[in-house]
Amino acid sequence: MKTLKINCELDYLAAGDADYVFNIQVADHPWQTIKYENLRVTPPAQLTFGLHPTGLNRLAKTRSGPGGFEVRYDAIVQVDYPIPTGFEEEMPISALPVEVIPYIWSSRYCESDAVLQVAARTFGQLPKGFRRVEAICIWIRDNIVYLVGTSGSTTSTREVLVNRAGVCRDFAHLGITFCRALNIPARFVTGYTWTVEPPADFHAVFEAFLGGRWILFDATLLAPVTDLVRIATGKDAADTAFATIFGDVKMPRMNPAVQVLAEA
């Protein structure tokens, strides 16, 4: 178990009135306990809170006028990720919980229906279960270059496979896509972590449903999954954006900083 301190700073500059929806609050999740948190904006504005339709992500909505607008989120969180054995098995469709099955379907950024043959050729003969998902992560690291600036908010897995480059978001999308093409439920997870390099940013990983539970995987190896403080979970990045902005707004600075306070 680790105790981590979150200090997330987002600075914006708006040309006029703008609406914001933030998804930066730590998730209510069995693997983590929120000891303290505080979300505030400057200039002061009303914040309205609610849940994403998935029921997994905590959203905050607000509005600002022209000029500078600052968002500050502080939290202290205990994380206790249940370490997998490494022998978790893939489950037949008939044994999957109904609420898990949608995570096999193709989605906006994870076009699993377009890579069925590639997935079958590359991973179809491997031992099924945890080891096969690990092999997917290794393949991604060996074949996709981690390079900032090579992808954008609309980049899909097919484009990543063509360009052979991407960032954590793309690595996670590709892992999800290959898993789903093999009928392994998989979903996108964003969070805070303290070892991500290059510059401070939100981190993206994925989790696969094996042996009756969700297990985290990070194809980038930029940070241990045991240190991830979960923010959002969804089919892909479309469900988990840290900010959705309606208006002419620039973001000159962001700093989602994480500090380890204690380790047990």
What mean pLDDT do residues 184-190 have?
98
pLDDT at 262 > cutoff 90: no
pLDDT at 30 > cutoff 70: yes
What mean pLDDT do residues 118-135 have?
96
Domain boundaries, the chain: 2-80+242-263, 93-239
Q: Kindly list the distances between the CA atom of residue 103 and the CA atoms of 97, 111, 120, 207, in Å, as whole numbers in the listed order.
A: 11, 12, 18, 10
User: Confidence class of residue 201 from pLDDT cuts 50, 70 and 90?
Assistant: confident
What mean pLDDT value characterizes the chain?
94
Residue closest to 70 by CA, chosen among 38, 39, 41, 44: 41
User: Confidence class of residue 230 from pLDDT cuts 50, 70 and 90?
Assistant: very high
pLDDT digit string, tens, across residues 129-186: 999 999 999 999 999 999 888 888 888 899 999 899 999 999 999 999 999 999 999 9
What mean pLDDT do residues 19-39 have?
97
Q: Which residues of 79-103 are buried (b: 16+ CB within 10 A; e: fewer)?
A: bebeebeeebebbeeeebeeebeeb
Written out in words, the top-level CATH class of the domain with range 93-239 is alpha beta
- Structure tokens given for 75: 């939290």
pLDDT at 206 > cutoff 70: yes
Which pLDDT value is given to residue 69? 97
Give the whole-angstrom CA distance, residue 11 versus residue 69. Answer: 6
- List of residues 6+ apart from 108 with CB closer than 8 A: 156, 235, 236, 238
What mean pLDDT do residues 76-103 have?
96
Q: Are strands 165-166 and 145-146 parallel, antiparallel or unpaired?
A: parallel
- Neighbour count for residue 20 (Cβ, 10 Å): 23
Which pLDDT value is given to residue 131? 97
Assigned architecture for domain 2-80+242-263: Sandwich (2.60)
pLDDT at 195 > cutoff 70: no
Which pLDDT value is given to residue 197? 60
What mean pLDDT do residues 93-106 have?
96
pLDDT at 53 > cutoff 90: no
